[in-house]
Amino acid sequence: MRLIRESFSLFRGRFLYRNSRNPRFRPYVSAANGRNEDRGSSNKNIKDSAEVVIIGGGVVGVSIAYHLARLGLPNVVLLEKSELTAGSTWHAAGLTAFYHPGINMKKVHYYSINLFSQLEEETGQNLSFHRPGSIRLATTAKRMDEFHYQMQRQGWHQAPQMIIDVQKILEYFPLLNTDKILGGLYNPLDGHIDPYSLTMALASGARKYGADIICGKPVTGLKLRNDGKWEINTSDGTVTAKHVVNATGFWAYEVGKMIGLELPLVPIHHQYIVTSSIPEVKALKKEPPVLRHLEGSFYLRKERDGLLVGPYEHQDKMKLCEDWIINGVPPGFGKELFQPDLDRLTDHLEVAMDLVPVLRTANIQTTVSGPIMYTPDLSPLVGPFIDYPNLWMAAGFGYGIIHSGGIGKYLADWIITGEPPYDLIETDPNRFSKWTTRNYVFEKARESYGMNNSYTYPKEERWAGRPTTRVPTIYNQLLNSGAEMGFHAGWEQPAWFASKSDKKGYIPSFRRTNWFEPVGRECNLVLNAIGIIDLSPFGKLELLGKDATAFLDRIVANNVPKVGTTNISHMLSSSGRVYSELTVTTLAADHFFIVTGSGSELHDLRWMKEYASKWNSQVSFKNVTDEMACLGIAGPLSREVLLKLTNNPVTNKEFPFLHIRNIDVAGVPVRAMRISYTGELGWELYHKKEDTSKLYSALLEAGKQHGIGNFGTYALNSLR
């Protein structure tokens, strides 16, 4: 127990805010000339104008500057308030991993690691890039299930990944106690890099290709001009730019406030320890892989001749910097750290000592406790922001080192070409809107950090901060009917319905679980009778104006539907690539109703507004998502139920597929669209949200003799 019992007092005697005794925080030395690398030019004058101004000199901001300049964009300027790497970059643990539990972000990781592998040769800067591989350890059968699930998600990606047995794990890391280990997920080309050296190499490359990096020039204000350009006020004058990028790390919230944005960000206290030299570690002939003990919720790797251990505390022990959001980041905070709190790490370090027994006799040389920025869902904010032309976000990186290369290339491509190189909708900065309260951000960030190493389930739900204000009008009626809720873009929406005999609640699994049979029951209901579903979370947009038809004809890869009809169209980028999928309905020659997925609401609206502005189209947009509800009915008996509630004709001849009619249903005016995601006969009934309860009750009553029942999104997606 020496690590635990002695290190607390040992630490308090040794801790320095900028601990130069730790090799992680040494001044950068160039391998080429042995001299301290220039950290940025503080004596440069601010230019009057630039093509792009990047605010923030952390690894992400410098990577964006590097990639923009490398791609040939002239007049790229990066402004840093103090010195490069100040903020979260300098104290990062520097892990580099091909692994990501999602799909799209794997591309970001892949590019980053490949960039790091050639950057040293390109710039002549020593990166201290280690590639011993990494192993995610399974100590439960459920975790092994997850590894097999993740192998399915990795198959079409280029990076190698494999499941290995205990014997192989011990071969790679011979100091382990393998008693509780069942297997591992092995990524042989993972590793870690020195964040300071990486940033300086990117900065060197950025300057080589023509970018200006100016330090010691804090940004004091932002203003969007009438001509669409940005004025960036600094302590040393004003620069006008076509594009501005907010890459300011834990200052990103402050910079957003300069133009009235309250970004969904909060800094978190992250801690890791570095031990002094351990003889058994020093004696290893080969650097062992980075370990991630998922149940213990920590990463562990070799650091010089010792070990570095970085826990992610459970949400009831971790600490947010709420005061920074409420009162602002302390002035001058840059390369400082927090007072550490090892009590929060005790449980994790106990597991680490059980896993690597030599830790028990080790001394803690340094404890790092610094801020890292989190969003509510752990994915960063990357891309343009709606209603703020050419304002780009690159903020909220809980893993800025591994994201830096890929995000730098991704944003540079988008800024230069006008379209993203591939889909990263999970990082869209517009995914959080007016329903995202400050308390929601705090609760979800605490949950996301605390569940950092939790299982990544299919159909995963997380419950902090719910429900938000975005609940259906019939929320309580749905709950009383057995609804088990899912969460989509702030909305609560039934995922499935439990009967009295079903096992209720959220019981996630990589195998069949409690909702398997109920979802099958709901599928049969829709296939053979009639089901009803709340589709209110759909993004619902109105497009109006004399150029509306011409605008749509240009932006979607389909014919504009005739008045009173609907089609499914793909909205295209300027190069003809698919940006999103929409349902387009023509209400009049100058009036269109556009429906998109709940997660694409502002993603798609922003794109349309951008191109309407570029083409000087005389159109206007109205987002009616929150004021208009939708109930869907689907199944072979849906027409019989509808006939009981309306005097309007609904026969196949008079109301064909992909047509729309304004009709009354049970006395409720509805915009009825004959379409269903299930493929069965059905209608989507759009109406004012205050009428939902009346319409829902009437449909259930009229459908009793036909066996009507509720169905949720799990059945919907199965049938579609």
Burial 238-259 (b: 16+ CB within 10 A, else e): ebbbbbbbbbbbbbbbbbbebb
364 contacts: CB under 8 Å, gap ≥ 6: 3, 7, 10, 11, 273, 274, 275, 276
Judged against a pLDDT cut of 60, whether residue 21 lies above it is answered with: no
pLDDT reported for residue 315: 87
Q: Is the pLDDT of residue 31 over 50?
A: no
Angle (CA) 693 699 703, round 5°: 150
Chain position carrying tokens 């062992």: 288
pLDDT score recorded for residue 2: 45
DSSP label of 289: P
pTM: 0.93
pLDDT at 156: 82
Which residues sit opposite 666 in a β-bridge?
Answer: none
214-233 in b/e form (b: 16+ CB < 10 A) is bbbbebeebebeeeebbebb
CA separation (Å) from 190 to 101, 154, 304, 310? 15, 15, 18, 17
Inter-residue contact 517 to 523 (CB < 8 Å): no
In 3-state terms the chain splits into helix, strand, coil percentages (rounded to 5) of 30, 25, 40
- The number of beta carbons lying within 10 Å of the beta carbon of residue 294 is 21
The whole-angstrom separation of Cα 398 and Cα 379 is: 8
The residues near 524 (Cβ < 8 Å, ≥ 6 apart) are: none
Q: How far apart are CA 108 and CA 411, in angstroms?
A: 11
Between CA 346 and CA 352 the distance in angstroms is: 10
Among the listed residues 380, 290, 300, 303, the one whose alpha carbon sits nearest the alpha carbon of residue 99: 290
The share of the chain scoring above pLDDT 90, in percent, equals: 89
Amino acid at 323: D
The pLDDT value given to residue 43: 55
DSSP H or E stretch at residue 116: helix 105-123
The pLDDT of residue 250 is above 90: yes
Residue 700, both tokens: 């259930």
Q: Tell me the average pLDDT of the chain.
A: 92
How many helices (H) and strands (E) would you count in the chain? Answer: 19, 31
DSSP assigned state of 28: P
| pLDDT at position 34 over 60 | no
Beta-carbon count within 10 A of 274 CB = 22
Distances (CA, A) of 523 to 257, 456, 581: 48, 26, 24
What would the two tokens of residue 174 be? 């011979």
Cβ neighbours of 512 (radius 10 Å): 8
Give the pLDDT score at 19: 34
Give me the pLDDT at residue 46, please. 80
**Tokens at residue 503, please?**
């096992």
> How far is the C-alpha of 200 from the C-alpha of 58, rounded, in Å?
10
Fill in the DSSP letter of residue 698.
H
pLDDT at position 275: 97
Residue 156's alpha-carbon distances to 98, 133, 310, in angstroms, are 13, 20, 31
Closest CA to 585 of 653, 686, 679, 669: 686
Quick: pLDDT tens for 578-632.
999 999 999 999 999 999 999 999 999 999 999 999 999 999 999 999 999 999 9
Quick one: which H or E segment has residue 444? helix 438-450
Token readout for 7 is: 């290190």
Question: For 489-504, b where at least 16 C-beta lie within 10 A, e where not — what string?
Answer: bbbbbbbbbbeeebee
Mean pLDDT over residues 76-99, rounded? Answer: 96
Query: How much is the average pLDDT of 549-568?
Result: 97
Mean pLDDT of the region 534-555 = 97
d(CA 625, CA 441): 22
In angstroms, the CA 611 to CA 554 distance is 10
Pairing mode, if any, of strands 668-673 and 483-488? Answer: unpaired
Q: Is the dihedral of CA 40, 130, 106, 88 positive or negative?
A: negative
Q: What is the CB-side half-sphere exposure of residue 603 using CA atoms within 13 A?
A: 28
Task: Among 331-340, 489-498, 514-523, 679-688, name the one with the lowest average pLDDT.
Answer: 331-340
Q: Which residues pair with 366 in a beta bridge?
A: 274
Structure tokens, 443: 């609760």
Confidence (pLDDT) at 334? 85
What mean pLDDT is predicted for residues 309-320? 92
**What are the φ and ψ backbone dihedral angles of 227, each rounded to 5 degrees?**
-85, 5
> Residue 701's pLDDT band (boundaries 50, 70, 90)?
very high
Q: What is the mean pLDDT of residues 84-94?
A: 95
Residue 293, H or E segment: strand 290-293
Res 42 pLDDT > 60: no
At residue 197, does pLDDT exceed 50?
yes
* Pick from 280, 278, 269: nearest CA to 312: 269
pLDDT at 668: 98
Q: Residue type for 409, please?
A: K
The confidence band for 24, taking pLDDT boundaries of 50, 70 and 90, is very low
DSSP 8-class letter at 557: S
What are the tokens at 201?
Answer: 């190499």
